[in-house]
Structure 1
Amino acid sequence: MEAPGGPGAPPMWGPGRKMGFGAALGSRSKGWYTVADGNLSEVFFPFLDHVALHELRFFVSAAGAPPVDDSGDGQHSISWISPGVPAFRVETTHHEYRLTKDFFSDPEENAVLIAATFTPELPDLRLYMQASAHWEPGTDGNFGSVIDTHPPALLLQQQDIWICVVGPFSRANVGYFRSSDVHIDLTDADGHLTYTYDRAGPGNVSAGAEIGIRAGAFQLAIGFAHSRADAEEVARTALQKGAGAVRQAFERAWRAQPEIPPALGKVSGDDGMLARASFAFLHCLEDKSHAGAFIAAPAAPWGETNHDGNHVYHLVWPRDLCRIATALLDAGDSDAALRAFRHLQSQQRTDGGWHQNWTLDGTPHWQSTELDQIALPILLAWRLGVAGCLDHDPYPIMVRPAAQFIIREGPLTTLDRWEDAGGLSPSTLAACIAALIVAAEFAHDAGEHVAANHLRAVADYWNDRVEAWCSLPSGQYIRLGSDPDRRPTEGSTAPEFLELVRYGLRRPKDDRVLRSLQGVDTSLKVSLPAGPSWRRYAGDTYGEQSRLAGTDRRAGPALLFDGTSCGRAGANT
């Protein structure tokens, strides 16, 4: 029977507030999973810039009562099951039940597994699940159906991608998200699952089922493939192996990774726990079909209110890519750093610059110019050279054109690192000055001494002019100057000037640095439960409104972002 209520709720991304992100090592498994609000959030397949599954969440219900949304109504705590292994355990508590969920993937299959334990506090409680594919912007939506087997299985189709969910289901159906899905059925039928729809689409299709156990442990497997038969086979094969065996293989591969440098563990304060987690996270950011293409993050900011395909973070930014490569290099993974560098080289334009960001296949997404993103690849080349990791001379094919671009387009940048304004940025200038000095070293080693002297001269001049361009008469640095021929008399307070210290261009105890730090603390410092933090700059609006984006609790605590709120506090890097 065809489900009514199509096409369902409008398309959207998952929440940006991810609790976990992981993937199996190796090239055979090309799926990446995220966890948000205690449940499985977006799953990427077959590439890290393509969301296939929107979410899989649980509901708990009893006759005569509205359903409990595990995501929005439960209290969640998350932990790494093993140090440095991106498999996660979420323990959800509610006064009516407890639900523990382990999330990991199969290194040999395109499958994500959930190993769960349900502990109801009342005898008549039942557990349900609901999965939905991501509705790609610009398409008519997805399709869904119930596979009539014992137990039944769930099938979702997103264009040429098929998703199969298998588990101990007693009943199953498909419908449209927020119009005829499991949650609507449980709400309208006083806690009972009554819909018998076995097909739906196109639209925002959800597939749901009742878990056929009253209490105890159970397992779900989600298979991904490019055909219906393959998706079902992948899911059933993973479930047949068993969550225990799959998790052991998952952990075994991750434990075979090189250990973090001993010195890092000694100074970490936690025996390297956070460092291991951080490096595992960075490794997961690399796509498995595009070597060296590390995305910025597996999320869309404020995804519940972000319905288009423009404002997403699963893209490659040169800045993020260089930071990731440098961190992995410091952790001892020079191969990953070199892969990232090669990817950067493959994306350099003929004019020496790079696009603002791009998809994994190299298609430009945003196309403005951020000069620090031209400088950082030069600095990465130098770091790789110092570490003895370069297998070729990058000067003639990459470093020289990039340095020429910086001189030709600088010192003003179209956009600074926060990507909402441009001008004379101390952080951008710091990166560019350091890059020109490094480029001069490359030129000198190549025997281009005239070019080397010119690069040093420009770097020296820009360095001498930083205060005239980017500080007030009082000596306090600002976020952006606007006129290279006139000293600014006003400007936003921001901590970007610290890049001058990080690159060795200004002393930490410089009076201007100390005075500016006082201004930053006065204007941007906020007290949070975990300690002090700082906003990005005075007047920042990149944050959420204080009112909820909607009244549907299934959206979780999502807040509205419209570019007019107060910026979030956090690390300024």
Structure 2
Amino acid sequence: MDSTSTPPGAPGIAPTWTSSNKDAVTTALGSSRVWATIGHGIVNEVYWPSTGHPQIRDLGFIVTTPNGWHEIKRENRYVISTLHPNAPLARVVHEGPGYRLELEFLCHPQRDSLLIKYELSGDDVRLYALLAPHLNSSASNDAWADGDLSARNGAVALCLRANLGFSRTSAGYVGASDGWQDFHANGAMTWTYPEAIEGNVSLMGELNANSGVLSLGFAETLEGARTLSRSSLADGYVETCANFVEQWHDWSTSLQIPYTTPQLRREAELSATVIKVHEDRTYAGAMVASLSVPWGNSHDDAGGYHLVWTRDTVEAAFALVAVGQLEDAGRTLDYLIGTQGEDGSWAQNYFPDGRGYWTGRQLDEVALPVLLAAKLRSVGHLTFSGPELAMVRDAIGFIVRNGPMSDQDRWEENAGASPFTLAIAISALVVSADYFDAEEREYLLALADSWNERIEEWTYAEQGPLGADLGIDGYYVRMSPKPAEGGLAGLINRRNVAHGEVPANDLIGMEFLYLVRAGLRDAHDKRITDTVKLVDTMLRAETPNGPAYYRYNGDGYGEKADGSPFDGTGVGRLWPLLTGERGHYAVLAGGDGMPYLEAMSRMIGPGGLLPEQIWDGPSMPQHELEPGFPTGSAMPLVWAHAEFLKLLAAITTGRAEETFTEIEARYARTIPSASRWFWRESSAFEAIAAGKDVQIDRDTPFTLHLGDGQWHRVVDLTSTPGPFGLHSVVLSASILEDYQTLRFTWRDSQTEAWRGQDFAITVRSA
């Protein structure tokens, strides 16, 4: 082959990422900005310069023997182990006919590079490295094969160098002239193309020796990547490894893992390590949901799960508090202060630098940072500071003005009232009250009482159709639409299935368990216990590894029935983190959470990582699906590891990390009787018990036009400005009882425009 020729097949086939089914994740704790994932026994995505930016699809190997060639990731015959406790230094041993390949994966602590130590043994065997760049998540990269293997896209470059060099190298286009195609067509490496420009490119190098070290460096320029790659090799593998292990050892010595069995302790230590691995260093405190792209080997997604979700991040920070890592949790709070929007909210999800990705708004993601601040204060790690105070005040202002309905629930699918979101928002109002002056504090607590009293109005289905066979009178639903869209009588669209609209009272989920976890309802309240019974009947599945739960009945987020990847529709699968939520309830109800924790510890991949979902169908080896084990969704899922740690802590203490004394003191786990209900169009009500005041709030000045049910005794009342930029008219209980049925509308004081719709409130007898 002429070494100056151009490889055919430009620009190559459409790229994808790789399987999200990871064996291990790793990073160093020094100044390095490289994160690596290992799956199928090789390096998958490598992230640089932050956790939000995967730069390669994978870096694998082909082994040749006298009997043929073997791509080790396809052979899938390997064992993975961790070389040092509490340090994510993975060793993988691949064994096949006539060969044994040992690999170690080490992120350099000081340089932006990944080191791979390799040792191949066998008679007449050779080793070839295959590198698939996917720089800047772009389908078009440039690649060069000379003494090193290099690639570039814009201001991102990489260089792969072997300490003992390559004997031959080649660059090609994926699906046409890449190294795998060479072996597939010719049974050997016969192509030595020097470069492949503007395409989905691939690089191959035949290693000069069967044992040595590879260094994959990343920088803004080719020269920089080459310098880092070569310097990393010059540092020496043994010394670099010792530095890596020492840094992780120093961090892990402060872990406070509750006493438990050796097996569960090991999983807890791994869970803490997984959470720590996901923290960014370019943007300290940022924590992406997972260093993976769900079903990534079937599509190319610039987002994936390597984005920050405020919800997942705070769940992880609570787990860090549970195991004594207060500095880490505090740094995460500081990061969230930095990503808060001008209106007090956070984007639905965002890259570690704060750039938003999806555009939804979720009320729980605004309330959770407030709870994290309260948690850190409660353990003595945080005192009032200017940035913290501003964050809390702005977040609470957003909740007050926009709650209690959320544009999206925690599964990011529907708008309305979710028991989970309500529990989080109400808790935030109460625990933050002492950040505000007397007038604001009184308003917040009254609003929290009003919302708390109305939780069942919004989310509890009396005489719902799902409970009849079990003799259940009512149950908490997954969520209900906003009142103007029918409330409990409205429809919920299950967005991941075709023809997904169902009545709200036909859907149940586990969101209601947070009412107990937050301290708003008693674990033995009949409404709670009835719904638990229904959930255990409809959403629970027994797997070979123990009980697991679906998000809700009729969910479509998961592989299709034939095991093929989710592509927008599918069949919902089981979530280990929900096993943890059920375990929390068992603890708070005075039962045993250990069976749920032990089940979670078995729902793991080869390296001990917890997935987003596990398989609930028959064995499908062709799709690598086995009952009770990870599916092709995200693995690891940081939230699942956080839930594991928090459940372990709850079993020890008898309390959930999300339970605050302020909530328990105010509500004593019972429904309050609020003296005032707050009427907003988004949470309107048509009836109220006698003896309660009504406060009508709007975000602009208005004149309330009211009369009785026949529009007699008409009165106009001018709103007054109040806390949080709202304008209000308060109708006392005596006025309401005098009218019995109050009909009203309003005129905007600024535009003089009438609302154009009448509303009514009827007083119910006490």
> Is the 2:15–2:139 Cα contact (8 Å) retained in structure 1?
no
Aligned with 1:171: secondary structure?
strand
Aligned with 1:495: secondary structure?
coil
1:166 to 161, 167, 184: 161
Deviations 1:79-109, CA, capped at 9 Å, x for gaps: 2221111111122233453322111111122
**Alignment gaps of 5+ in structure 1:** 549-558
* Separation in structure 1 between the aligned mates of residue 44 and residue 177 of structure 2, nearest angstrom: 21
Matching residue's letter, 2:151: L
**Given the alignment of the two structures, is residue 233 of structure 1 paired with residue 227 of structure 2, yes or no?**
yes
Matching residue's letter, 2:518: Y
* Separation in structure 1 between the aligned mates of residue 555 and residue 259 of structure 2, nearest angstrom: 37
Matching residue's letter, 2:534: G
Change (3 A) 1:519 1:282: same
Q: Which residue of 1 aligns with 2:212?
A: 218
Matching residue's letter, 2:421: T
Deviation of residue 261 (structure 1)? Answer: 4.5
Aligned pairs for 1:213-362 within 5 A: 213=209, 217-262=211-256, 264-267=257-260, 269-270=262-263, 272-309=265-302, 311-362=303-354
* Separation in structure 2 between the aligned mates of residue 237 and residue 396 of structure 1, nearest angstrom: 45
> Is the 2:560–2:566 Cα contact (8 Å) retained in structure 1?
yes
Aligned pairs for 1:66-465 within 5 A: 67-120=69-122, 123-137=123-137, 139=138, 141-147=140-146, 152-167=147-162, 168=164, 169-189=166-186, 191-213=187-209, 217-262=211-256, 264-267=257-260, 269-270=262-263, 272-309=265-302, 311-391=303-383, 392=385, 396-443=389-436, 448-465=437-454
Q: Which residue of 2 aligns with 1:469?
A: 458
Deviation of residue 134 (structure 1)? Answer: 0.9
2:550 to 535, 553, 559: 535
Deviations 1:201-241, CA, capped at 9 Å, x for gaps: 1111111122334x6x3321112222223322322222233
Deviation of residue 421 (structure 1)? Answer: 1.5
Matching residue's letter, 1:504: G
> Is the 1:133–1:158 Cα contact (8 Å) retained in structure 2?
no
Matching residue's letter, 2:571: C
Matching residue's letter, 1:413: S
Aligned with 1:496: secondary structure?
coil
> Is the 2:283–2:352 Cα contact (8 Å) retained in structure 1?
yes
Change (3 A) 1:50 1:487: closer
Q: Which residue of 2 aligns with 1:554?
A: none
**Given the alignment of the two structures, is residue 31 of structure 1 paired with residue 29 of structure 2, yes or no?**
no
Change (3 A) 1:486 1:202: closer
* TM, length-normalised to structure 1: 0.90
1:567 to 572, 577, 589: 572
* Separation in structure 1 between the aligned mates of residue 207 and residue 355 of structure 2, nearest angstrom: 43
Matching residue's letter, 2:232: A
Deviations 1:436-464, CA, capped at 9 Å, x for gaps: 11122333xxxx22222221122122222
Matching residue's letter, 1:179: A
Matching residue's letter, 1:132: A
> Is the 1:260–1:276 Cα contact (8 Å) retained in structure 2?
no
* Separation in structure 1 between the aligned mates of residue 426 and residue 506 of structure 2, nearest angstrom: 22
> Is the 1:135–1:204 Cα contact (8 Å) retained in structure 2?
no
* Separation in structure 1 between the aligned mates of residue 158 and residue 407 of structure 2, nearest angstrom: 43
Aligned length: 545
Deviation of residue 124 (structure 1)? Answer: 4.6
Q: Which residue of 2 aligns with 1:507?
A: 522
Aligned with 2:432: secondary structure?
helix
> Is the 1:492–1:537 Cα contact (8 Å) retained in structure 2?
yes
Aligned with 2:446: secondary structure?
helix
Change (3 A) 1:401 1:228: closer
* Separation in structure 2 between the aligned mates of residue 486 and residue 567 of structure 1, nearest angstrom: 25
Aligned with 2:259: secondary structure?
helix
> Is the 2:86–2:252 Cα contact (8 Å) retained in structure 1?
no
Deviation of residue 140 (structure 1)? Answer: 5.9
Change (3 A) 1:395 1:230: closer
Deviation of residue 135 (structure 1)? Answer: 4.8
**CA RMSD, 1 decimal:** 2.2
* Separation in structure 2 between the aligned mates of residue 487 and residue 541 of structure 1, nearest angstrom: 22
Matching residue's letter, 1:414: D
Matching residue's letter, 1:74: N
Change (3 A) 1:455 1:331: same
Matching residue's letter, 1:226: E
**Alignment gaps of 5+ in structure 2:** 463-472, 490-503, 582-766
Change (3 A) 1:265 1:395: closer
Deviation of residue 355 (structure 1)? Answer: 1.4
Structure of larger gyration radius:
2
* Separation in structure 1 between the aligned mates of residue 139 and residue 458 of structure 2, nearest angstrom: 51
Deviation of residue 330 (structure 1)? Answer: 2.8
* TM, length-normalised to structure 2: 0.68
Deviations 1:351-390, CA, capped at 9 Å, x for gaps: 2222112222222211211111111111111112222222
Instruction: Name the % identity.
Output: 34
Aligned with 2:426: secondary structure?
helix
Q: Which residue of 1 aligns with 2:9?
A: 5
Aligned pairs for 1:484-503 within 5 A: 484=483, 487-488=488-489, 490-503=505-518
